[in-house]
Amino acid sequence: DKTAEGFTAAVREDRLGYSAITYRTWMKEVFMPLNERASEIFITHSNLLDSQILLAPLLQLMAHTKAFAVIAKRWERGD
């Protein structure tokens, strides 16, 4: 099944299967570093923002990044 739902089901059904391992690897090695770097850039250069319009999406990005860091720690512990 090549759908997003099929992939999600495969990851949930077999935590040690190929799809689940690939998903966790991509999240930890690719997406998390990118999200962390984006959050760092926004924090470091927030004084350059000219508008409050972006504030909510930026806060959402940072919250998502931190929440996923907790999930990654749980994966390390085998939870």
Residue 47: predicted pLDDT: 84
| Res. 51: pLDDT tops 80 | no
Model pTM? 0.76
Among 70, 46, 72, which Cα is nearest to 58's? 46
CA-CA distance, 42 to 46, in Å (whole number)?
A: 5
Q: What's the pLDDT band for 14 if we cut at 50, 70, 90? A: very high
CA-CA distance, 34 to 28, in Å (whole number)?
A: 10
